[in-house]
């Protein structure tokens, strides 16, 4: 794929292909940092907008995927430093409405409480733990795909996943609110 397309038609085609190929991964990286789907979407869109602007300027980007992931990481970290975040005006989590039509209202409430506790405990984990758990369980990436996304070997992915799962299970067990065998 060309890194700085010469004409607008070619640029649009390349951009659309990059978006189709990498938007989910860029979104997952931002989601792993903040556990907020709307914010992750904003960060993903801003990352792709910046890529488009760089291309329009004629900038050569040798590895657009790596460039997008770096920009998304930086934007996610910049959000942490923003006055919006520091002042405690962060919007509520967006996953509270997860439910199934087959569940009774009491079961639905119990499930929502469980998810809220899980999100609370995930928020207490390190960014690296949240990132790898999100790639594996929210994005359904296999170990090879995770290794490629994080730039590590597959053995490291298995070790990091195991440790992240154990830390999450320990946190959940310590709270006593969710039963972990």
Q: Which residue has the tokens 């009491």?
A: 106
Residue 145 burial by CB count (10 A; 0-12/13-18/19+): exposed, middle or buried? middle
Q: Shortest CA distance to 139 belongs to which of 40, 35, 24? A: 24
The CA distance from 24 to 76, in Å, is: 15
Range of the domain at 60: 8-86
Residue 168 and residue 124 share a domain: yes
pTM metric for this prediction = 0.48
CATH number of the domain where residue 112 is located: 1.10.10.10
Task: Indicate the number of domains in the chain.
Answer: 2
pLDDT given for residue 159 in this prediction: 96
pLDDT tens for residues 106-164?
Answer: 877 887 887 788 788 888 889 999 999 988 988 889 999 999 988 999 999 999 999 99
Residue 15 and residue 65 share a domain: yes
Which of the pair, 101 or 141, is modelled with greater confidence? Answer: 141
CATH number of the domain where residue 37 is located: 1.10.1740
pLDDT band at 179 (very low <50, low <70, confident <90, very high): low
Residue 24 and residue 77 share a domain: yes
133 lies in some domain:
yes
pLDDT given for residue 7 in this prediction: 45
Rounded to 10 degrees, what is the CA torsion of 36, 175, 100, 103?
-160
Which of the pair, 163 or 84, is modelled with greater confidence? Answer: 163
Residue 33 and residue 75 share a domain: yes
């Amino acid at each position: 794929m060309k890194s700085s397309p010469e004409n607008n038609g070619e640029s649009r085609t390349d951009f659309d292909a990059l978006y189709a190929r990498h938007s989910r991964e860029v979104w997952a990286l931002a989601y792993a940092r903040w556990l907020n789907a709307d914010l992750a979407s904003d960060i993903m869109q801003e990352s792709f907008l910046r890529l488009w602007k760089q291309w329009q300027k004629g900038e050569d980007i040798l590895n657009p995927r790596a460039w997008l992931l770096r920009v998304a990481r930086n934007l996610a970290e910049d959000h942490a430093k923003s006055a919006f975040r520091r002042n405690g005006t962060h919007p509520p989590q967006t996953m509270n409405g997860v439910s199934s039509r087959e569940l009774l209202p009491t079961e639905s409430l119990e499930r929502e409480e469980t998810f809220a506790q899980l999100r609370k405990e995930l928020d207490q984990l390190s960014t690296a733990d949240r990132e790898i758990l999100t790639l594996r369980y929210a994005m359904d990436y296999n170990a090879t795909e995770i290794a490629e996304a994080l730039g590590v070997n597959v053995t490291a992915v298995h070790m990091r996943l195991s440790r992240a799962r154990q830390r999450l299970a320990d946190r959940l067990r310590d709270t006593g609110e969710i039963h972990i065998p």
